[in-house]
Amino acid sequence: MDDIGWTGYTYHVVTPTASHRKLRRLMGTKQLTDRQRRVYELIRELILNRGYGPTVREIGEAFGIKSPNGVMCHLRALERKGLIHRSPNKSRAIELTEKIDRHQHSLPMAGMVAAGTTALAFEQSDTMDFSGMFCQNDRFILQVSGDSMIDAHIQDGDFVVIQKQETAEPGQMVVAELPSGDSTLKFWFPENGRIRLQPANAEMSPLYVEDAKVVGVAVGVVRNGL
């Protein structure tokens, strides 16, 4: 019988593989509840496919859990049972204790990022092979949507390589997560108690926000076409 898996907020049926059978044996020894198992599968699939785990809010939205405390109860249970590790005070700091093998010369294709402002789309599960040029476990790829970064030679449809980190120096190009949950690719300028997210397009105005989180810093661009 097929397993129910999770990829990019859409349930789909996947045929059991050796990896899935190993996962089934692992979870079976931990005596998980059905909800704990599904939360763990979501965490595992997102880390595998996009390079990092979900936030508490994303887990709540995925399973209709309105209270953050309800999500935290499941995360604490998974941590007690040795399946995950969490770092305090970090929204995306859920890690697996299970070692996941990745392709040696590929990066996770995390989806689309707007050079305007939009929610990140994590429905892509492909990888892109760069023969080790960017081969690091703390990096992933996003495809750019929009033209707000064209003066930085980043066009609609190009791919940016993102170094996962939660801080950035003034003037660095970052993927920033806004309080609304939307994310955008912009230059990062903290100033006067707020953040200026500066586009690289003379026809566009900067975006000012009081609070934003750095998801990662752009470290490379791959042109999609000439």
Question: Is residue 186 annotated as a catalytic residue, yes or no?
Answer: yes
Torsion from C-alpha of 52, 210, 71, 125, nearest 10 degrees: -30
Q: How many CB atoms lie within 10 A of CB 172?
A: 16
Question: Is residue 19 annotated as a catalytic residue, yes or no?
Answer: no
> How far, in Å, CA of 170 to CA of 16, rounded?
47
Radius of gyration of the chain, Cα coordinates, nearest whole angstrom? 18
Query: Residue 17 corresponds to which tokens in the numbers above?
Result: 């593989």
Which one of 145, 183, 186, 213 is the catalytic residue?
186
Which one of 145, 148, 183, 213 is the catalytic residue?
148
Alpha carbon 62 to chain centroid, angstroms? 15
Which are the catalytic amino acids?
A: 148, 186
